[in-house]
Amino acid sequence: MTSKTVSVPNITCGHCVMTIEREVAELQGVSSVKAEHATKKVTVSWDPDATQWDAIESLMKEINYAPAE
């Protein structure tokens, strides 16, 4: 399992948190997603044999919650 925490500046409310957690959790290989409104951070754990970080990051951009560079 691989885990990564990223800053997502445009998390502004609980709805943002729910959207990120729901959408990212649907990706194959993702075992957990924790988004936090107060810190504007998202932590994702996934199986690198099933998916790559690029796919997770791409989905986050697609749903308008791009990780900060």
Q: What is the tens place of the pLDDT at every residue in 10-61?
A: 999 999 999 999 999 999 999 999 999 999 999 999 999 999 999 999 999 9
Task: Spell out the domains of the chain, with CATH numbers in brackets.
Answer: 2-62 (3.30.70.100)
What pLDDT does residue 67 have? Answer: 96
Look up residue 10 and give its two tokens.
């445009």
- The residue ranking higher by pLDDT, 1 or 69, is 1
pLDDT at 69 over 90: no
Confirm whether pTM is higher than 0.85: yes
What pLDDT does residue 57 have? Answer: 97
Q: Cα–Cα–Cα angle for 62, 68, 69, nearest 5°?
A: 105
Cα 44 to Cα 2, 30: the distances in Å are 8, 7
Determine contact, residues 68/39, Cβ cutoff 8 Å: no
